[in-house]
C-alpha cells in the first residue's frame, strides 16, 4: 500500500459540489478560510448570492451526463489538479414508498447517487495518477436510520454507504482516502427545497405527521458550520474511518441505540417518534 500523502491545506485544490448554500457552502468556506484553493459548484453559478470569500464557482448539474466532465475539466484547467473532492450536493423528496411515482424515485437516486458517481468518474483518474487524494461524500443520518415517508431519500443515502465502502477498498492501492460524513438534522435550505409528493388518502395523515416532525427537527437542527469544520479536520488526517456522524446529540444517540437494540424495539421507538398511526385507514 503506498504511503498516504496529506498535503498542507494551503497547498490543496478542493472541489465542493452544491456549494451555493447550506452544508456545501459551509464546507467550501472552511477550506477557503484555511487557505485552500476552492471551487464550488452550482447549477446556476450566476445566481449564487454572497458567494463565500475565496470560492470560485463552476457550473454542475448532477443529472447531466457530461456536466461532471466539463466541471472537472474547468477546475483542472484553472488549478492543474483536484486534491480533495467533496460530494455534497443533494436533494430530498417526501412521500410514501407506494405513492411516489417511480420517475420521481429515479430522479431522487439520479441526484443523490448517480450524480456522485458521475463526479467520481471525472475526478478519480487524476487522484489515482498522483497516488494522492481525498474524497468526502456527504451521506446522512438517514443513510443509517431510514425514516418513514422519506424512504426514497433514505434509500439513496444508504446506497452511498455501500458505494463508499467499496470505493475505499478499490482506492486503497492508490493511497487515495475516502470517507462518509453523515449529518443529522442541520439548518439549511434543504427543508424548503424538499418536494413532498401528493399522498393517497391511506397515507396522507401519517405522511403529514411524520414530515412535520422531520421539518421541525431540521429547522431547529445543527449549524452547518460544524460540518465544515469536521471536513477540514478530516482533510488533515492520514487515516480515516469509513463514516463520521455529526449532528444533534439525540440523533447520535439514536445511531448508537440502533446498533445495540433488537431491531423491532428500535423500530417501535421510531414509530412513536415519527407518530406512525397504530392502525391504517381501510380503503
Ligand atoms: N440539512 C440537513 O438536515 C441534512 C441532513 C443530512 C444530510 N444532508 C445532506 O447534505 C447535503 C447538502 O444539503 P443541504 O442541507 O446543505 O441542502 P441545501 O441548502 O438545499 O443545498 C443543496 C445544494 O445541493 C445543490 N444541488 C441540489 N440539487 C442539485 C442537482 N441536481 N445538481 C447539482 N447540484 C444540486 C444545490 O445547488 P444549486 O441549487 O445552486 O444547484 C445546493 O448548493 C445533501 O446531500 C443532503 O442530503 C442534509
Q: What is the set of domains in the chain, with CATH numbers?
A: 9-273 (3.40.50.720)
* Residue 5, pLDDT score: 85
- Which of 89, 191, 174, 192 is closest to 134 using CA atoms? 174
User: Residue 109: pLDDT band by 50, 70, 90 thresholds?
Assistant: very high
Ligand 1 center–CA 64 separation, angstroms: 16
Residue 56 pLDDT exceeds 90? yes
Cα–Cα dist 236/14, whole Å = 13
Structure-block grid coordinates of residue 38? 476552492
Ligand 1 center–CA 4 separation, angstroms: 30
**Averaged pLDDT of the chain:** 96
* Residue 227, pLDDT score: 98
Closest Cα to atom 23 of ligand 1: 18
User: Residue 166: pLDDT band by 50, 70, 90 thresholds?
Assistant: very high
pTM over 0.95: yes
Cα–Cα dist 257/251, whole Å = 10
User: Residue 29: pLDDT band by 50, 70, 90 thresholds?
Assistant: very high
How does DSSP classify residue 211?
H
- Which of 86, 97, 157 is closest to 120 using CA atoms? 86
**Could you tell me what percent of the chain has a pLDDT over 70?**
100
Ligand 1 center–CA 8 separation, angstroms: 28
Residue 282 pLDDT exceeds 90? no
**Residues 104 and 69: beta-carbon distance below 8 Å:** no
Backbone φ and ψ for 41, nearest 5 degrees, come out as: -110, 155
CA angle at 183 for the pair 117 and 142, rounded to the nearest 5°: 75
- Which of 111, 199, 97 is closest to 148 using CA atoms? 97
Backbone φ and ψ for 180, nearest 5 degrees, come out as: -105, 135
Cα–Cα dist 93/88, whole Å = 17
Rg over alpha carbons for the chain, rounded to the nearest Å, is 19
Ligand 1 center–CA 138 separation, angstroms: 9
**Residues 187 and 219: beta-carbon distance below 8 Å:** yes
SS3 content of the chain, % helix, strand, coil (to 5): 50, 15, 35
For 120-157, how does the pLDDT look when each residue is reduced to its tens digit (9 = 90+)? 999 999 999 999 999 999 999 999 999 999 999 999 99
**Residues 266 and 67: beta-carbon distance below 8 Å:** no
Cα–Cα dist 152/105, whole Å = 6
Catalytic residue list contains 153? yes
Whole-number Cα distances in Å, 153 to 32, 120, 149, 150, 210? 30, 20, 9, 5, 14
- Which of 55, 48, 61, 47 is closest to 75 using CA atoms? 55
Closest Cα to atom 42 of ligand 1: 18
For 30-48, how does the pLDDT look when each residue is reduced to its tens digit (9 = 90+)? 999 999 999 999 999 999 9
* Residue 283, pLDDT score: 65
Ligand 1 center–CA 264 separation, angstroms: 32
- Please pick, among 153, 203, 244, 274, the residue that the annotation labels catalytic: 153
Ligand 1 pocket check: which of 15, 18, 185, 218 to mutate, most ligand atoms within 8 Å of Cβ? 18
Q: Could you give the count of Cα atoms lying within 13 Å of 6 in the half-sphere of its Cβ? A: 11
For 189-230, how does the pLDDT look when each residue is reduced to its tens digit (9 = 90+)? 999 999 999 999 999 999 999 999 999 999 999 999 999 999
Give the residues surrounding ligand 1 with Cβ less than 6 Å away. Answer: 18-24, 42-44, 60-63, 88-91, 111, 115, 138, 140, 183, 185-186, 188-190, 193, 218, 221
Cα–Cα dist 84/132, whole Å = 9
Amino acid at each position: 500500500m503506498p504511503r498516504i500523502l496529506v498535503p498542507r491545506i494551503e497547498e490543496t485544490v478542493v472541489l465542493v459540489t452544491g456549494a451555493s448554500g447550506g452544508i456545501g457552502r459551509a464546507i467550501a468556506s472552511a477550506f477557503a478560510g484555511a487557505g485552500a484553493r476552492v471551487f464550488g459548484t452550482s447549477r446556476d453559478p450566476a445566481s449564487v448570492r454572497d458567494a463565500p470569500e475565496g470560492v470560485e464557482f463552476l457550473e454542475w448539474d448532477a443529472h447531466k451526463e457530461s456536466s461532471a466532465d466539463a466541471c472537472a475539466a474547468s477546475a483542472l484547467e484553472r488549478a492543474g489538479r483536484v486534491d480533495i473532492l467533496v460530494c455534497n450536493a443533494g436533494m430530498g423528496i417526501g412521500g410514501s414508498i407506494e405513492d411516489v411515482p417511480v420517475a420521481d424515485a429515479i430522479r431522487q437516486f439520479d441526484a443523490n447517487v448517480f450524480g456522485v458517481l458521475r463526479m467520481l468518474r471525472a475526478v478519480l483518474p487524476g487522484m489515482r495518477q498522483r497516488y494522492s487524494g481525498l474524497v468526502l461524500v456527504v451521506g446522512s443520518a438517514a443513510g443509517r436510520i431510514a425514516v418513514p415517508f422519506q424512504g426514497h431519500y433514505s434509500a439513496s443515502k444508504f446506497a452511498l454507504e455501500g458505494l463508499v465502502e467499496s470505493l475505499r477498498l478499490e482506492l486503497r492501492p492508490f493511497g487515495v482516502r475516502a470517507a462518509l460524513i453523515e449529518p443529522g438534522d442541520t439548518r439549511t435550505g434543504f427543508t424548503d427545497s424538499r418536494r413532498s409528493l401528493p399522498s393517497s388518502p391511506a397515507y396522507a395523515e401519517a405522511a403529514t405527521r411524520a414530515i412535520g416532525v422531520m421539518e421541525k427537527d431540521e429547522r431547529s437542527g445543527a449549524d452547518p458550520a460544524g460540518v465544515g469544520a469536521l471536513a477540514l479536520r478530516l482533510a488533515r488526517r492520514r487515516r480515516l474511518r469509513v463514516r463520521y456522524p455529526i449532528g444533534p446529540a439525540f440523533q447520535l444517540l439514536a445511531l448508537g441505540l440502533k446498533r445495540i437494540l433488537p431491531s423491532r424495539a428500535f423500530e417501535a421507538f421510531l414509530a412513536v417518534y415519527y407518530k406512525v398511526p397504530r392502525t391504517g385507514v381501510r380503503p
